[in-house]
Amino acid sequence: MVAQWYHAVMATLTIKQVPPALVERLKERAEINGRSMNREVIACLEAVVMPREKSAEERIAEAKTLWESLRVKDLGPYDPAWKREGRP
């Protein structure tokens, strides 16, 4: 007999006919993220089905990472009046 609380804690999900390319990509992502394939699938599903709001700090960190990845050395001259353009 299975404990009554067991079914309320975790559910088991079987996914059939997963394309080999998807399985390979999941394996790669799991290795990169230091997770098992099972945990990687759960993380992917959580991100899509139950997305959480990002904090301001997380958004700023993402923006900085993106900016650094662009490797822009010089944006040219800057005019502080640009900030006011389009505002009443």
Report pLDDT for 3: 59
Average pLDDT over residues 55-73: 87
The tens digit of pLDDT for each residue in 2-43 reads: 556 555 678 888 999 999 999 999 999 999 999 999 999 999
The structure's pTM equals 0.51
Higher pLDDT among residues 24 and 81, named by residue? 24
Report pLDDT for 59: 92
> DSSP readout, the chain?
---TTHHHH-------S--HHHHHHHHHHHHHHT--HHHHHHHHHHHHHS--PPPHHHHHHHHHHHHHHHT--------GGGGGTT--
Report pLDDT for 70: 85
